[in-house]
Structure 1
C-alpha cells in the first residue's frame, strides 16, 4: 500500500548521556515511503554516521510492514546554521598541507570534503555522536504515522472491494434464471428440426422416438451450459473475501489467491456461455474481478 511519513528528533532528545559529545543543535530526520508491491522490498538510504544502525532500522520496519516496496531514508542536519563554530584559519592551512603531503605520495587519494574538514576543525571526530537510542524513537514515530496513512487507504480499498463483491453477486443472480430458459428454447429448436426432418405437418403428432431424442439432446445441452456449480463456488469465494475484509490483518496474500479463483470461475462461466446475455455477464464479471485484482495488490 502507498504511504509517506517522516519524523525528526533533536540530538538532545535522543541521547540520555550529556557526555556523549553530541551537539544540541544536531537533528536526526527519517522518512519512509511505501508503494505497492506483492512482496516486501525494503531499501535503506543512510548517511555513513548511521550505517551501523541499519540492522536496527531493518528489524523495526519488518516487524510492522509485511508487504510493499518500502524506502527508508535518514539524514543528519544542523538545526541552527548560526550555531556553527568558527573555523581556525591556521588549522585549515595545516589540513591543506597534510592533504598535499598525502596526495604527493598517493595521487589517487580523494581530497577532503567540507564535512570532513569541519569535523577535524571542530574536533567532533574525537567524540563521535551516538544515535543508537535516537534511531528507534524516530523510526517508531515515522512508522506509526505511515501505518495510520496506510490504514486510511485500506478503508477506502475495502469499501471499493465490497462494492465490487455486491456487483458480482448481482451478475451471478442474473445468470441463474437464464439457464432453464435457454434449455427450453433449445428443446423447442430440437423438436422443430425433428419435425422438419421427418416431413411432419404443423400440428401433427410427433413420434415418440423423435420426442425422446429431442429431450435427450436438450438434457445434454443443459448439462453443457449449466453454471450452477460455478455460481455456487463464486458465491463462496465472495463470502470468504467479505469475511477477510471484516477480519482485517495480513490478508493481502489470501485475497490474491481468492481473486485467482474468481478468475477461474469467470473463465469457466464464459466457456459455457450459450447466449449473448451469458457472454455479457461473463465479460462484466471479468472486468470487475480485474479491478479487484489491481486493488488487492495494494493490501497488506
Structure 2
C-alpha cells in the first residue's frame, strides 16, 4: 500500500567553488500538478531541473521549489555597465534640459537597474555547468525529501480512510437489514390510511396491490448494492500504487448520490437515520480524500 499525500517539505544544501546554497521544496493540495520556481540569477537551467524533477515524482499538488545561493565574501567583483548608464543619461537628457527633472546624482544613477553588476557570474562555461549541475542535484534531493514527506502523510491517511470505508460498509449492511422491513411498514401505513378514508369498503386485494406498487418504488436494494460495490472499489484503489486521489474523489460523489437516493426512498425512520449517518461518514471520507495525491 503506497498512497501519497500532497503536503510536505524537503530541503538540501550544497557548496562548490566558493558558492553555497540551499534548495527547498514544499507542496500543498491541488487538483493538478503546478510547479513554481524561484532561483538565483544566472542559473537559468535550474528552473528546468526543478520542473522536470517535480513532474517525474508527482502527479498532483502545488509544488514550490526555491534555491538561495551566495558566493563567499571576497569572491564577488563589481563593475559598472557604462553602456547601460549612458542609455539612462540619454533618456533623461531632454527632461533635464527642459527643467522637468533635476540633474541625476551619482547615487541615483548607481541604484538604477543594470548599472552596477556583480561579476559573480562564472566566465568558464564548464565551471558554470558543473556548479549548476551540483545545484540541480540539491534540488533533486529536496524533491526526494518532499516525496518522502508526502508518502509519510499517505501512510498516516491510509488507516483513517480504511476505517471510514469500514464504517460505510457497516452502515450499508445495517441499512439493508432495516430496509427489509419497508414493504410491511408501507402496507400497514397504506392500509390504515385507506381504511381511514374508505372504511370497510377498502378491499384487501386493493391494499395489497397499491402497497406492492409503493414498495417497488421504495426498493433500495439497487442503491445498497452500488454502495457495497463502491466500497470494494475504494479499498482496491487504496491497496494499489500510484496517484488515486482523482478516482477516489469521483467515488465519493457516487457514494453520496446513492446515500441521497436511499434517504429519499426511505419509508422508515430508522432507515432514514442510517442514511443520514452514511452521508455524514461519506462527507468525512471526502474531506480526507482531498489530501490524497
Q: If the length of structure 1 is used for normalisation, what is the TM-score?
A: 0.79
Q: What is the CA distance between 1:154 and its match in structure 2? A: 0.4
Cα separation, 2, equivalents of 1:45 and 1:124: 18
Q: How does 1:20-39 map to 2 (within 5 A)?
A: 24-39=17-32
- Cα–Cα, structure 1 residues 10 and 192, in superposed 2: closer, same or farther, change >3 Å? same
Answer yes or no: is the 8 Å Cα contact 1:99–1:112 preserved in 2: no
| Deviation (angstroms), 1:195 | 4.5
From 277, 280, 283, the counterpart of 1:284: 277
Change (3 A) 1:181 1:152: same
How far the C-alpha of 1:114 sits from its partner, in A, is 11
Residues of 2 paired with 1:116 and 1:298: CA distance? 48
Q: State the alpha-carbon separation in 1 of the partners of residues 210 and 54 from structure 2.
A: 63
User: Relative contact order, CA 8 A, sep 6+: which one is greater?
Assistant: 2
Query: Whole-Å Cα distance in 1 between the matches of residues 54 and 256 of structure 2?
Result: 34
Partner SS, residue 27 of structure 2: strand
The alignment status of 1:254 with 2:247, answered yes or no, reads: yes
Contact preservation (8 Å) 1:45, 1:72: yes
- Counterpart of 1:84 in structure 2 is 74
Superposed CA RMSD in Å reads 3.0
- Corresponding residue to 1:219 among 202, 208, 212: 212
Shift in Å at residue 85 of structure 1?
5.0
Could you tell me how far 1:237 is from its partner in structure 2?
0.6
Provide the C-alpha distance between the structure 1 equivalents of 2:275 and 2:109, rounded to a whole number of angstroms. 66
CA 1:199–1:101: 2 relative to 1, 3 Å: closer
Correspondence 1:64-79 to 2 at 5 A: 64-78=57-71
Question: Are residues 50 and 113 of structure 1, via their aligned partners in 2, closer, same or farther at CA, if it must alter by over 3 Å?
Answer: farther
Query: Normalising by the residue count of structure 2, what TM-score does the alignment of the two structures yield?
Result: 0.81
Q: Give the count of matched residue pairs.
A: 271
Q: Which runs of 5+ in 1 are unaligned?
A: 12-23, 201-206
1:14-55 deviation digits (Å, cap 9, x = unpaired): xxxxxxxxxx33113211110001111111112222223322
Q: Distance in 1 between matches of 2:250 and 2:109?
A: 54
Unaligned runs of 5+ in 2: 1-5, 94-107
* Residue of structure 1 in register with 2:37 after alignment: 44
SS, match of residue 213 in structure 1 = helix
